[in-house]
Structure 1
Amino acid sequence: MPDVSYGTVPRQSGSEPSAENKCTDAVCINASRIYDSCGSKDCLSNLDVFFTPCNQCIINNASSVKICKASVITADVNVESVAFHRGCYAVDVTFYFDIMLEAYTCGSTIPSKVNGLAIYGKRSVLYGSESNSKSFSSDSCIVCSQPPTACACSEIMPKATVQISEPMALSARLRKDCVPPLPCAPIPECVITYFGDDFAVTGDAGVRATIGIFTITQLERNVQLMIPSYDFCIPRKECKPESDDPCEVFNRVDFPNDSFFPPNARAEEREKCNFECSCNG
């Protein structure tokens, strides 16, 4: 394979670079290359919700519950190699959700807002290539590798990254039979700190929630890549100071014509409103 100079971008013989690429250089960068990724759309039904003792007392006296919002507190991501499949890795993710509910008690029209914890585990198998090289940097602390054991080898694992959208709160229902047992795996300390107390182990009622999530899971490794470089990222505009005068800020706001004159509906939008009423008068 012929040597490639780092000074110019290699091109085929007889071809001339375009005017916009005449000043292009080839530079070598260290970047994270994504070897494999997958996306998923999951409807998580009947997730057990765990409450602190104070919130559990409210659930015990509730006659019905309504889900308001679901948010992601944190996630625990682990990677392990798949036996007999070189280059393949299993990504295990445990999501911790904050479930906000409105609990209605008998004889009360004003609900009580309570927050609980829902946990969901997911596994994906992706290709992450192979690497046996270790890298050390001058801007990082000294970290020693663990000695290999009979169950662990010195294989360098790829980095797993999991992205999740804001969950969609779909439904919640009250269970008067029993309180779900806490998971066997220990709950992270930061999750307990988030709720401000440990979770109740006994009670007269429980809640199961249903939420929808969209996730993207990626496996990546640090590699050296050669890319074309056009120029440095020099700012093209001046940072203008903002005024603290509220009237000056208000004067820059455009007049809201749509608020006074609603736009005409497009033809395809009007078609959505054309339906036949099946009611008998």
Structure 2
Amino acid sequence: MDEMNDTMRSGRFKEAVCIDAQRVYDSCSAKDCLEDLQVCFTQAKRPVIERAVSVRLRDVEVLTVYLNMEPVPFNKGFYSIDMTFVFDVSLDVYTAPASCPIVVDGIALFTKKAILYGSDGNVKVFTSDGSCDPTESGSGSRVTPKAVCQVAQPVGLSARICDTRPGCCPSFKIPDDICERFGGDFDFECSRSVYVTIGLFSIVQIVRNVQMLIPAYDFCVPTKECTPVSDNPCEMFKRIDFPTDSFFPPKVSDAGGCGCGCSQSQESAE
């Protein structure tokens, strides 16, 4: 605190202010290679898969991540985070050799667990906006940590189709919002299955609302004036820079390279 007061007197910032913010108490990163995830399809798309002779992984993205956090028994301050990743898998499906592919979308799921430290608190927060626990009249919301999962764009590595292995059909219930997105219920009664391998990068955090003292320099007063935007398409086109690089591609020297035949020793000699 004394160091902060000395910094204030030196003029480097204006004042120390107290803010309520989400502090990260613990976090971990993961690089997972998810091998042979089974892809689920709706009943309308299942006939195409049954006729398929080969598949190619076109694209994959994370639709959502379901998080469930519970305190770890006999380990105060630690929480177990169960995560279910839902992937939207886009496939090129070939029903005959040398035929044009049919684009089919399905979902794949992956679950994992992490244990992180989230500290321990036993207070309730009451606010003037009336937000409270609806199960108890007059009670405020209890302060608990929150789990956060950040996911990078997944990498689609491979896809294959084969006869369904006995006992491999998933037993989980696909959420209704996912079924609505794909246009119907998912069908698990099948003789052919698609398996994909996906590379996944993720960061899991436990955050908690805390009050922190931080230096403040000044208010965030905008320095740029909002300019009106014209709906005239020609006016919008005039603001686009001429694509010079498209007409005159850069030479290898402009890109910082030295060509295919240039070795490291030649570069050093130059």
For the aligned pair, the TM-score class normalised by the smaller chain equals 0.7 to 0.9
The one of 84, 101, 104 aligned to 2:74: 84
Aligned to 2:5: 11
Measured in 2, the distance between the counterparts of 1:108 and 1:268 equals 39
Going from structure 1 to structure 2, the CA distance change for 1:273 and 1:166 (only over 3 Å counts) comes to same
Aligned to 1:208: 195
Measured in 2, the distance between the counterparts of 1:185 and 1:195 equals 17
Alignment of 1:147-226 (within 5 A): 157-178=144-165, 181-226=168-213
Q: Which SS does the other structure have where 1:11 is aligned?
A: helix
Q: 1:34 and 2:24 equivalent?
A: yes
Measured in 2, the distance between the counterparts of 1:51 and 1:16 equals 62
Which amino acid letter does the alignment assign opposite residue 243 of structure 1? S
Which amino acid letter does the alignment assign opposite residue 251 of structure 1? K
1:25-80 CA-partner distances (Å, limit 9, x unpaired): 22211111110111112111100111112211111111001111112222110112
Measured in 2, the distance between the counterparts of 1:186 and 1:145 equals 28
Going from structure 1 to structure 2, the CA distance change for 1:16 and 1:93 (only over 3 Å counts) comes to closer
Aligned to 2:100: 110
**TM-score, normalising length: structure 1:** 0.82
Aligned to 1:228: 215
Does the 8 Å contact 1:179/1:203 carry over to 2?
no
Which amino acid letter does the alignment assign opposite residue 249 of structure 1? M
Q: Which SS does the other structure have where 2:186 is aligned?
A: coil
Q: Which SS does the other structure have where 1:190 is aligned?
A: helix
Measured in 1, the distance between the counterparts of 2:197 and 2:176 equals 25
Measured in 2, the distance between the counterparts of 1:267 and 1:180 equals 58
Going from structure 1 to structure 2, the CA distance change for 1:16 and 1:239 (only over 3 Å counts) comes to closer
Does the 8 Å contact 1:70/1:168 carry over to 2?
yes
Quote the offset at 1:9 in angstroms: 8.5
**TM-score, normalising length: structure 2:** 0.85
Measured in 2, the distance between the counterparts of 1:275 and 1:62 equals 47
Measured in 2, the distance between the counterparts of 1:190 and 1:43 equals 27
Which amino acid letter does the alignment assign opposite residue 123 of structure 1? K
Going from structure 1 to structure 2, the CA distance change for 1:270 and 1:238 (only over 3 Å counts) comes to closer
Does the 8 Å contact 1:179/1:201 carry over to 2?
no
The alignment of Structure 1 onto Structure 2 pairs a total of residues equal to 258
Aligned to 1:127: 117
Going from structure 1 to structure 2, the CA distance change for 1:35 and 1:177 (only over 3 Å counts) comes to closer
Unaligned 5+ residue runs, structure 1?
Answer: 147-154, 277-281
Query: Identity over the aligned pairs, expressed in percent?
Result: 42
CA RMSD of aligned residues (A): 2.8
Unaligned 5+ residue runs, structure 2?
Answer: 137-141, 264-270
Does the 8 Å contact 2:60/2:90 carry over to 1?
yes
Does the 8 Å contact 1:178/1:203 carry over to 2?
no
Aligned to 1:150: none
The one of 112, 128, 140 aligned to 1:138: 128
Going from structure 1 to structure 2, the CA distance change for 1:144 and 1:270 (only over 3 Å counts) comes to same
